[in-house]
């Protein structure tokens, strides 16, 4: 008799891997590949503008016009901020019924570079606000839709958009074929190092295209807590304080600042003991509210500046509110203790990411759930507007590979691989779906902008 060590286990297949493979192949009869290509709005599809406005509930009212303005900037920005719209659509899309821990918001901008506790620079998923247990297909469709929409904005024609989406799907499919043969221990030790961008992709980059990627890596590696201090704070006597920049960076009153600091005390109990001892050698010198992202605007996000007692070295900590994921109404509820939205994010990140932030933890502040992490852990990403031609195809391939590895850590890779198969039929179906849903996103964005123009939605 075997016992699993986690209270969240998503693999449903039992027995040998070859049995899971056979079960996956058999599911092609119930859910043929071509079914994934279908997209048209359901007759009862909610008004996307209403879905977005409903998603504003519980957020800070003063920041909602900024959130709406950021979403209105482009169809891709709208896609980023409207996870609630896509969640409704995905819940009615075909699935083989195999759940894994999904990112929930695996769009193209939620992958990036960051430093591991060993000081290596890796490339991986880096946003887990929407993570939960759900069908693996939802992540792959969110990713492929974002590739299509981003490509549209970059002026990529339809054949180019199809090629990029096919590249991501092919990487997902072929990676899963390899991963089901890998031991769990080996899988948990896999990394994608930024210094080794010779991933075995079918697309060959030119020297100029390689230089584009390397430039981003170099820029990310120059970021540190020290460079952030020079940009965001100013000296005050022997200490430092944040430079206020409303509405992005704003001061807190004494009561709210004390609530955040008290929350950090509870957070310390959620990280490893050796890192807790390290943090105890720093003092909090300032706390501010900082607006981040597109979909996160309006949630409570605090930036904490800490200084080392001995050397006065800076350390920036982000304390970010965890809210109910957009897809939560369409999947079974998580068991305790993962109903704490901060702990849910931390668990998903630790499981899906190849090497998570050692300071990642969670807490509760004034009755609200939060997660805590380092800020600017030399994080960086490939600017979407740089992506064209072979560079886009290569980048899409990398994202598909990373998503497969993340899913394999909680799901049954043999089952998924058995279903996906070795042909490119599934790639073609997803490319068709992404093109259709990309057009839907453009239409939804236009409707959103029209709502702003008539005053139905307030944007500033």
Using the predicted structure, report yes or no on whether residue 4 has a pLDDT greater than 70.
no
Closest among 369, 327, 396 to 101, alpha carbons compared: 327
- What does the pLDDT look like over 328-368, one tens digit per residue? 999 999 888 899 999 999 999 999 998 889 999 999 999 99
Beta bridge partners of residue 288, listed in sequence order? 251, 303
Distance (Å, rounded) from C-alpha 408 to C-alpha 243?
43
- Report angle CA 351, 28, 421 to the nearest 5 degrees: 65
Q: What is the DSSP letter of 249?
A: E
Beta bridge partners of residue 287, listed in sequence order? 304
Percentage above 90 pLDDT, the chain: 77
- Report angle CA 9, 14, 19 to the nearest 5 degrees: 135
Q: What is the DSSP letter of 119?
A: S
Average pLDDT over residues 41-56: 97
pTM for the model stands at 0.93
- What does the pLDDT look like over 327-339, one tens digit per residue? 999 999 988 889 9
For residue 197, the model assigns a pLDDT of 53
Using the predicted structure, report yes or no on whether residue 323 has a pLDDT greater than 70.
yes
- What does the pLDDT look like over 79-88, one tens digit per residue? 999 999 999 9
**Dihedrals φ, ψ of 264, to 5°?**
-65, -30
Average pLDDT over residues 224-248: 92
CA distances from 128 to 315, 318, 393, 416 (A): 22, 14, 24, 22
Using the predicted structure, report yes or no on whether residue 376 has a pLDDT greater than 70.
no
56, exposed or middle or buried, with CB in 10 Å at 0-12, 13-18, 19+? middle
Closest among 460, 351, 445, 453 to 52, alpha carbons compared: 445
Using the predicted structure, report yes or no on whether residue 205 has a pLDDT greater than 80.
no
Using the predicted structure, report yes or no on whether residue 378 has a pLDDT greater than 70.
no
Kindly indicate the confidence band of residue 176, based on its pLDDT and cuts at 50, 70 and 90. very high
- What does the pLDDT look like over 134-149, one tens digit per residue? 999 999 999 999 999 9
In the chain, the N- to C-terminal Cα span, in Å, equals: 60
- What does the pLDDT look like over 80-110, one tens digit per residue? 999 999 999 999 999 999 999 999 999 999 9
């Amino acid at each position: 008799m075997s016992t699993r060590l986690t209270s969240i286990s998503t693999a449903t297949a039992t027995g040998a891997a070859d049995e899971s493979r056979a079960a996956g192949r058999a599911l092609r009869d119930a859910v043929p590949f071509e079914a994934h290509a279908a997209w048209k709005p359901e007759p009862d599809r909610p008004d996307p503008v209403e879905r977005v406005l409903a998603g504003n509930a519980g957020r800070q009212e003063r920041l909602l016009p900024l959130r709406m303005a950021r979403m209105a900037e482009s169809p891709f920005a709208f896609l980023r901020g409207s996870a609630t719209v896509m969640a409704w659509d995905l819940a009615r899309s075909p699935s083989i019924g195999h759940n894994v821990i999904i990112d929930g918001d695996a769009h193209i901008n939620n992958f990036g570079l960051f430093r591991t506790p060993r000081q290596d620079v890796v490339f991986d998923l880096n946003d887990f606000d929407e993570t939960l247990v759900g069908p693996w297909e939802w992540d792959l469709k969110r990713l492929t839709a974002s590739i299509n929409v981003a490509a549209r904005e970059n002026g990529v024609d339809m054949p180019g958009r199809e090629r990029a989406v096919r590249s991501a799907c092919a990487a997902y499919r072929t990676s899963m074929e390899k991963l089901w043969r890998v031991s769990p221990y080996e899988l948990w030790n896999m990394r994608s190092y930024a210094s080794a961008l010779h991933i075995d992709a079918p697309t060959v980059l030119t020297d100029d295209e390689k230089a584009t990627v390397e430039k981003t890596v170099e820029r990310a590696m120059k970021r540190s807590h020290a460079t952030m201090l020079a940009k965001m704070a100013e000296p005050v006597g022997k200490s430092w304080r944040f430079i206020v920049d409303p509405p992005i960076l704003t001061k807190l009153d004494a009561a709210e600042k004390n609530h955040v600091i008290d929350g950090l005390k509870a957070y310390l109990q959620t990280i490893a003991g050796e890192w807790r001892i390290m943090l105890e050698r720093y003092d909090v010198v300032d706390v501010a509210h900082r607006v981040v992202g597109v979909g996160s605007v309006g949630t409570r996000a605090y930036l904490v500046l800490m200084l080392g007692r001995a050397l006065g070295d800076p350390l920036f900590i982000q304390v970010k509110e965890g809210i109910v994921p957009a897809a939560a109404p369409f999947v079974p509820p998580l068991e305790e203790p993962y109903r704490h939205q901060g702990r849910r994010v931390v668990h998903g990140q630790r499981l899906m990411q190849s090497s998570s932030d050692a300071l990642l933890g969670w807490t509760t502040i004034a009755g609200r759930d939060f997660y805590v992490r380092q800020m600017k852990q030399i994080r960086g990403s490939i600017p979407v507007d740089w992506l064209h031609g072979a560079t886009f195809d290569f980048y899409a391939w990398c994202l598909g590979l990373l998503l497969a590895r993340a899913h394999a850590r909680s799901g049954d890779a043999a089952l998924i691989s058995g279903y996906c198969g070795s042909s490119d039929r599934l790639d073609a179906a997803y490319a068709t779906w992404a093109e259709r849903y990309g057009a839907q996103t453009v239409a939804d964005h236009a409707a959103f902008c029209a709502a702003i123009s008539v005053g139905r939605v307030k944007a500033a």
